[in-house]
A = this chain, B = another copy of it.
């Protein structure tokens, strides 16, 4: 059970481990029910890409979709996920200096490999 719980947590983290998916979750946290079209317009992403990211979030039951006519309205299934993001924002601010260094390094790595 210890192990199941860890695999469960790892699955959730995996699903959240992408900037676009975090952006989606934050949008749903802030706006409640949002149709897919609005998601990709707001975030400036491809339709297919957003649909794929939503599939990942759905597969871990982080979001849920309600079909209404032609559209699908997505929303968060539980407020806890929003709280997790808030904790990380706190964390980011507490370690602001290092966090910025870390991001700089991440960018540097991109350049090296690009």
Q: Are A5 and B106 in contact (CB under 8 A)?
A: no
Docked pose: A21 CA to B18 CA in angstroms: 18
* Chain B: CB-nearest residue to A12: B88
Residues of chain A at interface, number, CB under 8 A:
43
Among candidates B10, B17, B87, residue contacting A10 with C-beta atoms closer than 8 Å: B17
In the complex, which of the residues A19, A23, A99 has the most CB atoms of chain B within 10 Å of its own CB atom? A19
Q: Are B8 and A16 in contact (CB under 8 A)?
A: no
A84 at the interface (CB under 8 A from B): yes
CB distance from A5 to the nearest CB of B (A): 6
Among candidates B8, B10, B100, residue contacting A18 with C-beta atoms closer than 8 Å: B10
Return chain B residues, CB-CB under 8 Å to A7. 19, 103, 106
